[in-house]
Amino acid sequence: MDNNKYFEKMSKLAPSVFIDPLSDLGSFNYRLLKFEEPVPSLTNKFSGDPYAKKWWPIIEEMRSIFIDWQKEVQSHLDGSAERTGYIVDENQIAEQKELIEALIRLGFSMKFVAQHVGYSEKTIRNKGFRRSDLNKRTQRQVYYRSSLPKIPAYTELAHSVS
């Protein structure tokens, strides 16, 4: 993996313009591999004005190269390296939500759920999962002793079997 080739590609796109390929492309969500704000809302850090429309395609191209760079970085991570971004689609999000809800409904603790899902306990709670919402107890049923069927005592059963 050659990180410099991606940086060089981004730098060659706009050599005369003061666009920093690492800080001027906008805030990047490493989990979803998407930029959070659209290109028209980006501002030049030197002038404080939005970038001119003629630079928008160049910024978009730089963003696509940056995303390709991040995908390659993720593909070369081994299990021991810390993972900072995840490629997640809607199906994976739905499956994850289903798994979390199932584990909570079965009565497992948030600590157990966090260990098996890969999120921290706080993240699970911040995503709106609460044990009180999902783990409902049934109404307590009270039986009177007089209404229960008569069961012979253990000693009587033991004598009758032998």
Look at residue 22 and tell me whether its pLDDT is greater than 50.
yes
Q: What is the pLDDT of residue 26?
A: 86
Tens digit of each residue's pLDDT (9 = 90 or more) over 103-150: 888 888 888 888 877 778 888 888 888 877 776 666 677 777 777 666
> What are the boundaries of each domain within the chain?
3-75, 90-134
More confident residue, 53 or 155: 53
Number of Cβ atoms within 10 Å of the Cβ of 25: 21
Tens digit of each residue's pLDDT (9 = 90 or more) over 34-78: 888 898 888 888 788 888 888 888 889 888 988 888 888 877 765
Under DSSP, is residue 80 helix (H, G, I), strand (E, B) or coil? coil
Look at residue 161 and tell me whether its pLDDT is greater than 70.
no
Look at residue 3 and tell me whether its pLDDT is greater than 60.
yes
DSSP notation for 129-160: --HHHH-PPPPP----GGGSPP---HHHHHHH
Q: What is the pLDDT of residue 86?
A: 59
Measured CA to CA, the distance from residue 69 to residue 2 in angstroms comes to: 9
Mean pLDDT of 4-12: 79
Q: What is the pLDDT of residue 116?
A: 79
Q: What is the pLDDT of residue 21?
A: 75
**18-27, 30-39, 70-79: least confidently modelled range:** 70-79
For CA atoms 156, 157, 160, 162, the dihedral sign is negative
Q: What is the pLDDT of residue 125?
A: 86
Measured CA to CA, the distance from residue 63 to residue 36 in angstroms comes to: 11
Under DSSP, is residue 34 helix (H, G, I), strand (E, B) or coil? strand
Name the pTM for this structure: 0.48
> 22 and 61 in contact (C-beta within 8 Å)?
no
Cα-to-chain-centroid distance, residue 122: 12
> 74 and 85 in contact (C-beta within 8 Å)?
yes
